[in-house]
Structure 1
Amino acid sequence: MLRTSGLTKEFGGLTAVDDVDFALAENELCSLIGPNGAGKTTFFNLLTGVLTPTTGSVEVRDGEDGWRDVTDATPYETADLGLHRSYQITNVFPTSTVLENVRVAAQAASGDSAKFWRNAGAFEEHVEEAHAILDRVGLAPEAHTPAESLSHGAKRQLEVAVALAGDPDVLLMDEPNAGVSSESVDEIIDLIEDVATDHAVLLVEHNMDIVMNVSDRVVVLNQGEVIAEGEPQAVRNDPTVQEAYLGGYEAGSLDGERDAESPAGDSSTDPEEGTA
C-alpha cells in the first residue's frame, strides 16, 4: 500500500532520515519506534508531502497492480490518494462540534468542500458518514459536544475519526496515546486494533506495551537509519535495539519509559520532530 526507496532528508549538516527502504502491506499494522530524534516524525512528514526528500522516492498503491509516485506531492494530494494522518498534537476545530469536525473532513474528502453556497444540511451523506465514524471510535454520545470540551483522550479519538473520514487506504498514527490518562489506554488500544482490521496502519508510539501487543511488525529507527525490523518479539530481543532504545524495558511498563542509563537518554532531537 505504501513504499519508499532510498528515502533521505538532510537539514544542513544533519541527516534526519537516511536511505530508508520501507514497505507497508495491505491491512498490516506496523509500528515505527526509536529514541527521541531518531527521525520518526520527519519520516511521516516525507510520506505525507509536508516535507520534500533530499533524495529517494515515496509511492502509494494505485489500483491492483500499479504504483503512484507521490515524492513531490502536496499533503492534499497524498490525502486524496488515500494516505491520511493523525498528529502528535491534537489538530481539530475546537469551537465546532465533534460531529462537525468529522462531517467537514468527510465533505472535503469527497470534493464537496468548495460548495460553500449550499446549506451544510444538504450534505446528508456526509453527516451519515460522520455519525458512523463517531460510532466506530466511541464518540457517538459526544456528537454535539464542542471539541474543546472533550477530555484529552477523547480529542485523540476525534483526531482518528477525522483521519478516517473519506475512508483512507493507509492511516499514519503519530503517538495516539500521547498525553492520554492511564485509564484511557485500553480505549486507545482497542481503537488502534479496530482501525487496523480494514486499513494499513503505520504507528509511531513510545508505549512499548502497546507496540508489542498490537503490531504485526516493528521497524526501529536510530539516527535516521533503520537498525532492525521484524516481528515484535524478535525486535524486542535484538541486542542492537536493546542498546539503542529499549534499555531496561519489561512488559507491563505502561509509560513506555526506557531505563535511565540507556544510551537512548543521550539522543539528540531532530529539528523537525521535537521530542518524537
Structure 2
Amino acid sequence: MGDQVLRTDGLTKHFGGITAVDGVSFALDSEECCALIGPNGAGKTTFFNLLTGELEPSEGSVEFHDDDGWHDLTGLAPHETASAGLHRSYQITNLFPTTTVRENVRVAAQAHGNATSRFWRNVDAFPEYVDEAESILERVGLSAKADDVARNLSHGEKRQLELGVALAGDPDVLLLDEPAAGVSSESVDEVVDLIRNVARDHAVLLVEHNMDVVMDLADRIAVLHQGELIADGPPTEVRDDDAVQEAYLGGYDPDAPTASDDGGDGSGTTGEDGGGVA
C-alpha cells in the first residue's frame, strides 16, 4: 500500500438525539480500494457527506494529504473539498440529462481548470478540455456514445459517465456511493472492471451493498454499525469476523450460489430492511 492520503479522527455527527457517525477514526492509503459496508442506517452516506463537506461534523476532523503535506478539510464546503482532490459519485445519478455525454465531461474538466467565464459554452475557446473529455470517455468505455444525450443512456452507462465526470476533476481520491446500484446483472462486471482500472492510479473508497462486488474489488473492508467502526481489515478477515457476521453479512458464504446462479439478478445483495440515517 502507499502512504495515507485521507484520514479522520473521532469523526462524529449528531442529528438531534441520533448519533449517525460515532467517533470514527479511519485512514485511506493512496494505492488502495477500500469498501465501506454496513446495514441500512449504519452511517455510511453520512460519513461520505462529512468527508466531502456536505455535512459539518459535530466533533472530530477530516484531513487530506497532498504534495504539500496534510490539510485540514473539516467543515469545508463541497467545492473546496473537490478542489483539494476529493470527488464523489452519488446513489442517484447526477448528470446534465439534456446535454451530450461529451459535454457532461467537458464541462466538468473546464470547471476544474477554472475556465468558467462567460465563454464556458464556447467549445472552440477551450479545445484542450474537449481533448481531455475524449480521453476520459475512451477510458470509461463511452467513446461511441459521446454525441448521445445523457438521459438516453442505460443506467449502467450513466454510472460510467458519472465516473468520467468525477475523473475530469483530476481527483486524488474517488468516493463512490453504491456504483453498482440499479445496474443490470449483465453490466455489473463492466462497472467492476472500470472501477478496478480507475483504482490503479486513484485511491478509491466505495459504499456498496453488493457483496460480490465488494469481495471482488476491495483490498480492504471497513464496517460501520450504528455509526461505529466495528471492523477494518482484509476482505476475508472482515468477512469471517463474528461481529460483522451478526451485524451485516448474515452468514455470507463465498461458496454459496449467488442470485445469478439461480436465475436472479446477480446482485449478491444481502436482505436489509433497516431504516434511520443512511
Normalising by structure 1, we get a TM-score of 0.93
Alignment partner of 2:166 out of 163, 176, 187: 163
Aligned AA (1:95): T
Q: Output the CA distance in 2 between the equivalents of 1:142 and 1:21.
A: 42
Q: Output the CA distance in 1 between the equivalents of 2:192 and 2:253.
A: 18
Aligned AA (2:232): E
- The residue that corresponds to 1:269 in the other structure is 276
Shift of 1:37: 0.6
State whether structure 2 residue 211 is matched by structure 1 residue 199: no
Q: Output the CA distance in 2 between the equivalents of 1:232 and 1:38.
A: 19
Shift of 1:266: 5.6
Alignment partner of 2:251 out of 243, 248, 253: 248
State whether structure 2 residue 29 is matched by structure 1 residue 25: yes
Gaps of 5+ in 2: 259-265
Alignment partner of 1:77 out of 70, 77, 80: 80
Q: Output the CA distance in 2 between the equivalents of 1:59 and 1:79.
A: 13
Aligned AA (1:16): A
Paired residues in the alignment total 265
- The residue that corresponds to 2:70 in the other structure is 67
Aligned AA (2:72): D
- The residue that corresponds to 1:9 in the other structure is 13
Aligned AA (1:155): K
Q: Output the CA distance in 1 between the equivalents of 2:181 and 2:120.
A: 38
SS of the equivalent of 2:238 reads helix
Aligned AA (2:111): A
Q: Output the CA distance in 1 between the equivalents of 2:19 and 2:202.
A: 31
Aligned AA (1:84): H
Gaps of 5+ in 1: none
SS of the equivalent of 1:108 reads helix
Q: Output the CA distance in 1 between the equivalents of 2:137 and 2:79.
A: 23
Conserved 8 A contact 2:40-2:273: no
Q: Output the CA distance in 2 between the equivalents of 1:48 and 1:171.
A: 11
Q: Output the CA distance in 1 between the equivalents of 2:157 and 2:243.
A: 36
SS of the equivalent of 1:73 reads coil
Alignment of 1:56-135 (within 5 A): 56-63=60-67, 66-116=69-119, 119-135=122-138
Q: Output the CA distance in 2 between the equivalents of 1:31 and 1:245.
A: 14
Q: Output the CA distance in 1 between the equivalents of 2:245 and 2:251.
A: 8
Q: Output the CA distance in 2 between the equivalents of 1:250 and 1:188.
A: 23
Q: Output the CA distance in 2 between the equivalents of 1:202 and 1:189.
A: 14
Shift of 1:256: 2.6
Shift of 1:72: 1.5
